């Protein structure tokens, strides 16, 4: 059954804030662990966030899954991408074989990968790809709206459905991935619309294009905004007019993950734009988002600032696909291990009275 707009609004109301009592309990528990106050930095912050998400001081993230939304974008006919459109289908299949950049890392680190077709245009044969195809790619956004509003809601609904499915199957942490030639163009158009930023300032090279193609890409994004006139105050309007099925699907996964009390990891540029869309739809949902790496794509910094997240890795990556997620999963697992396995001062036989004044001065 497809999600309606009323269904979506009802669902949004069911997303609850973090368990702040659990967060405070985790913070107090950390003060008893045998280490100088705050000495594990971001790992401690993540552990507190995890407590708020799960409601438990001690959490596990042993069962991990990256959900990859695959879709084609009509705007590629304008020459804004370096790769042919057929690569979307080819790489989607390769992901199921654990042969792409993201999937080889995921396999090495014990992460499940779920590849979902929400709008691949070219034909392929692969039973391992989950068929949720809305249609054969979006329209060319420089000429008309990418999709209808109903199609956008359907894509978001698919993401929500997959988050619920993951929860039911015992997944403890989710990652967001995408595959779709031309999707840095659509992502930038969405970001420009949401933040009222000029394309010249944040348009990047995506998979790698020439100076001439970059100049054209900026022009195409500008034209898309002029043709469609997306309403910055209506995320569904923005996504349906200048977005893509993959971005809308990821947006739904972020919303669904939050509703299911699952930590959900942001990958790179396309993913962080989808996360921003989710936050604009439900501000509470962002409490469940965990950043991974700083994408080298030009617009990432603006999107991350708007979202209010600080990535804890900077590896000069710009692949996408969800490639930052398995790396972030390891960091989150380390944060959980601190709470689960680290000795307290009492357990380590250490008198921690020497830290009393330090704790007072530093607010611990």
Residue-wise pLDDT for 64-122, tens only, equals 999 999 999 999 999 998 899 999 999 999 999 999 999 999 999 999 999 999 999 99
**Least trusted range by pLDDT, from 61-75, 228-242, 346-360:** 346-360
Q: Measured between alpha carbons, how far is 141 from 152 in angstroms, rounded to an integer?
A: 14
Q: What is the dihedral of CA 310, 340, 58, 48, to 10 degrees?
A: -30
Chain segment 36-69, per-residue pLDDT in tens = 888 999 999 999 999 999 999 999 999 999 999 9
Chain segment 71-84, per-residue pLDDT in tens = 999 999 999 988 99
Question: With 90 as the cut, is the pLDDT of residue 170 above it?
Answer: yes
Strand partners, 178: 69
pLDDT of residue 345: 87
Mean per-residue pLDDT, 317-326: 94
Question: With 80 as the cut, is the pLDDT of residue 362 above it?
Answer: no
Q: Measured between alpha carbons, how far is 3 from 18 in angstroms, rounded to an integer?
A: 26
Run of H or E residues at 5 = helix 5-13
**Burial bucket for residue 81 (CB in 10 Å: 0-12, 13-18, 19+):** buried
Beta strands in the chain (DSSP E): 64-71, 112-119, 130-131, 173-179, 264-265, 289-290
Percent of the chain having pLDDT more than 90?
Answer: 88
Q: Measured between alpha carbons, how far is 287 from 18 in angstroms, rounded to an integer?
A: 7
Provide the token pair at 202.
Answer: 């944040």
3-state secondary structure of 118: strand
Mean per-residue pLDDT, 130-147: 98
Q: How far is CA 104 from CA 129, 242, 322, in A?
A: 17, 32, 11
pLDDT of residue 74: 97
The pLDDT confidence band at residue 359, using thresholds 50, 70 and 90, is confident
Mean per-residue pLDDT, 179-206: 96
Provide the token pair at 204.
Answer: 């990047």
3-state secondary structure of 116: strand
Q: How many CB atoms lie within 10 A of CB 21?
A: 11
**Least trusted range by pLDDT, from 5-14, 58-67, 92-101, 349-358:** 349-358
pLDDT of residue 1: 66
In the set 127, 321, 333, 357, the catalytic residue is 321
Q: Is the alpha carbon torsion for 342, 346, 350, 354 positive or negative?
A: positive
The pLDDT confidence band at residue 193, using thresholds 50, 70 and 90, is very high
3-state secondary structure of 248: helix
Show Cβ contacts of residue 7 under 8 Å, excluding neighbours closer than 6 positions: 157
**321 contacts 102 by C-beta, under 8 angstroms:** yes
Mean per-residue pLDDT, 250-259: 98
**299 contacts 191 by C-beta, under 8 angstroms:** yes
Q: Quick one: which of 333, 353, 354, 12 has its CA closest to 173?
A: 333
Mean pLDDT of the chain: 95
The pLDDT confidence band at residue 355, using thresholds 50, 70 and 90, is confident
209: left (phi over 0), alpha (psi -120 to 50) or beta: beta
Q: Measured between alpha carbons, how far is 115 from 66 in angstroms, rounded to an integer?
A: 8
Q: Report phi then psi at 200, rounded to 5.
A: -55, -30
Mean per-residue pLDDT, 212-224: 94
Higher-confidence residue of 361 and 163: namely 163
How does DSSP assign 83-112, residue by residue? S-THHHHHHHHHHHTT-SHHHHHHHHTT-E
pLDDT of residue 330: 97
Q: Report phi then psi at 21, rounded to 5.
A: -65, -40
pLDDT of residue 353: 80
**What is the arrangement of strands in the sheet containing 130-131, beginning at the earlier edge strand?**
130-131, 112-119, 64-71, 173-179, 264-265, 289-290
pLDDT of residue 323: 96
Q: Measured between alpha carbons, how far is 363 from 260 in angstroms, rounded to an integer?
A: 33
pLDDT of residue 180: 97
169 has catalytic annotation: no
Question: With 80 as the cut, is the pLDDT of residue 361 above it?
Answer: no
């Amino acid at each position: 059954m497809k999600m309606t707009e009323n269904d979506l609004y009802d669902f949004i109301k069911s997303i609850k804030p973090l368990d702040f009592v659990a967060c405070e309990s985790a913070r107090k528990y950390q003060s008893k662990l045998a280490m100088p106050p705050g000495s594990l930095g971001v790992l401690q912050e993540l552990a507190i966030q995890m407590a708020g998400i799960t409601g438990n001081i001690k959490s596990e993230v042993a069962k991990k899954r990256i959900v990859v939304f695959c879709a084609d974008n009509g705007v590629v006919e304008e020459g804004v991408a370096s790769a042919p459109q057929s690569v979307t289908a080819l790489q989607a299949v390769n992901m199921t074989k654990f042969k792409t950049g993201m999937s080889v890392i995921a396999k090495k680190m014990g992460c499940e990968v779920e590849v979902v077709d929400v709008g691949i245009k070219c034909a392929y044969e692969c039973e391992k790809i989950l068929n949720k195809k809305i249609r054969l790619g979006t329209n060319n956004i420089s000429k008309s709206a990418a999709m209808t509003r109903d199609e956008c809601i359907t894509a978001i609904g698919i993401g929500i459905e997959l988050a619920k499915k993951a929860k039911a199957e015992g997944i403890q942490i989710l990652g967001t991935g995408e595959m779709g030639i031309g999707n840095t163009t659509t992502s930038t158009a969405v970001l420009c619309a949401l933040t009222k930023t000029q394309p010249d300032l944040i348009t990047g090279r995506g998979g790698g294009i020439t100076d001439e193609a970059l100049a054209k890409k900026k022009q195409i994004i500008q034209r898309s905004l002029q043709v469609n006139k997306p309403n910055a105050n209506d995320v569904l309007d923005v996504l349906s007019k200048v977005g893509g099925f993959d971005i809308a699907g990821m947006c739904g996964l972020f919303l669904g993950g939050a509703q299911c009390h699952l930590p959900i990891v942001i990958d790179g540029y396309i993913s962080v734009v989808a996360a921003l869309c989710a936050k604009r739809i439900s501000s509470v949902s962002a409490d469940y988002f965990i950043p991974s790496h700083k994408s080298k794509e030009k617009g990432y910094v603006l999107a991350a600032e708007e979202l209010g997240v600080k990535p804890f890795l900077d590896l000069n990556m710009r692949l996408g696909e969800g490639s930052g997620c398995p790396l972030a999963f390891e960091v989150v697992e380390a944060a959980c291990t601190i709470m689960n396995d680290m000795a307290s001062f009492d357990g380590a036989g250490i008198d921690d009275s020497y830290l009393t004044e330090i704790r007072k001065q530093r607010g611990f």
